[in-house]
Amino acid sequence: MNDYGLTVQGLTKKIGSKTIVNDVSFDVKKGEIFGLLGPNGAGKTTIIRMIVGLINRTAGKVIVNGHDLDVHFTEALNEIGAIVENPEFYGYMTGYKNLIHYKRMSQKDITDEKLQDTIKLVKLDHAVNQKVKTYSLGMRQRLGVAQAILHTPSLLILDEPTNGLDPSGIREFRDHLRMLANNGISVLVSSHLLSEMQLMCDRFAIIDKGKLIHIESMQETTNMENDLLREVTFTTNNSESASLALASKTKTGLTLEILNDTQFKATIDYQSISEINKLLVQSDIHVYEISSVKKTLEDRFMELTNSEREVSLR
């Protein structure tokens, strides 16, 4: 049984002597939301356009739900639903008639029951008979998702899907994607909005200057119980006394920053938090609060991309 909705192997795109995408490989599991991250111009949209067959590949393979795009082109494309940039519709027609128009063009047989189920799934049943020109951007996005999944694809590809959406629209859209993933659809999302991607994705890949530089799960990124250093603030009855007590009892050259009379900050790993707390209590220092700054996707993104740039400059 194939566990992947998408497999990309050695994807490369060259235009003349310039390499736009350089030997990119990754998998998207079934029922997973996979984020494709990178700065503008990194090659994310080029990768998506190659996957859906809008532009030719210089090298590499694309396998969609077990179908090789080079060998079974039609079968592979039938497994894909995509929104590349903003979805476009006939504004003078209702949402329902737009979907009927797409249904007639589909190479798959789409029943009326499937059409109605899809409309309910994206929660557009209250507005599907209104003209699309009256739709908000969020409603257009939902109609775009309905069109993209109407033919029951195994893979949904979205390029910057939350552009222009307000905060409530973004949250609603995120909830829809999670619902689709829970139903077994693989979702590939490209975006530069890191805070949203952190809430949306199960795993992510970072593309920088056409190269894939890192793949990681979101759980690994935000996990507090790892060896990465983080800033931890201790609230005590006396920060000066706490600093002196720790200076006399630690041998590792712990560096503290006194913030005010009762708070100090230390840059330490996860295990050291309890050790410092223990030393403070043993020194009769009252500890009222310990707060750690949780690592974000933005922190990880900057850490990895800056590291890659430093390596390239050597």
Number of helical (H) and strand (E) elements in the chain, helices listed first: 11, 14
Q: Which of 218, 252, 278 is the last residue of a domain?
A: 218
d(CA 302, CA 280): 34
Reported confidence tier of residue 227, pLDDT bands at 50, 70, 90:
low
What pLDDT was estimated at residue 313?
40
Confidence bin at 59 (pLDDT 50/70/90): very high
> Strand, helix or coil at 201?
coil
In the predicted model, what is the mean pLDDT of the chain? 86
Interstrand relation of 203-208 and 33-37 (parallel, antiparallel or unpaired): parallel
- Residues 76 and 66: beta-carbon distance below 8 Å: no
CATH number at residue 101: 3.40.50.300
Q: Please indicate, yes or no, whether residues 282 and 198 belong to a single structural domain of this protein.
A: no
Question: What Å distances lie between residue 305 and 37, 80, 228, 298, 312, CA to CA?
Answer: 11, 30, 17, 10, 11
The Cα 211–Cα 43 span in angstroms is: 8
169 and 247 housed in the same domain? no
Please report whether residue 88 resides in a domain. yes
End-to-end CA distance of the chain: 45
110-124 mean pLDDT: 87
For residue 155, what pLDDT is reported?
94
Tell me how many degrees the CA angle 273-279-280 measures, rounded to the nearest 5: 90
**Among candidate residues 198, 218, 238, the one where a domain is terminated:** 218
pTM for the structure as a whole? 0.75
Q: Which residues, in sequence order, are CB contacts of 275 under 8 Å at separation 6+?
A: none
For the chain, the domain total comes to 2
- Domain carrying residue 205: 4-218
| pLDDT over 70 percentage in the chain | 92
- Whether residues 158 and 245 fall in one domain: no
Q: Which of 176, 192, 218 is the last residue of a domain?
A: 218
Residue 295: predicted pLDDT: 67
150 and 236, same domain (yes or no): no
Are residues 133 and 202 both part of a single domain? yes
- CATH code at position 248: 3.30.70.2250
130 plus 258 within the same structural domain: no
For residue 10, what pLDDT is reported? 95
pLDDT confidence tier of residue 311, bands split at 50, 70 and 90: very low
pLDDT in tens, 130-187: 999 999 888 888 888 888 888 888 999 988 877 767 787 788 888 888 888 998 999 9
Assess whether 157 and 251 both reside in one domain. no
Checking if the pLDDT of 251 tops 70, the result is no
Q: Is the pLDDT of residue 38 over 90?
A: no
Q: Residue 224 — pLDDT band, cuts 50, 70, 90?
A: low
Q: 253-292 pLDDT, tens per residue?
A: 678 889 999 999 888 887 888 889 999 999 999 999 998 7
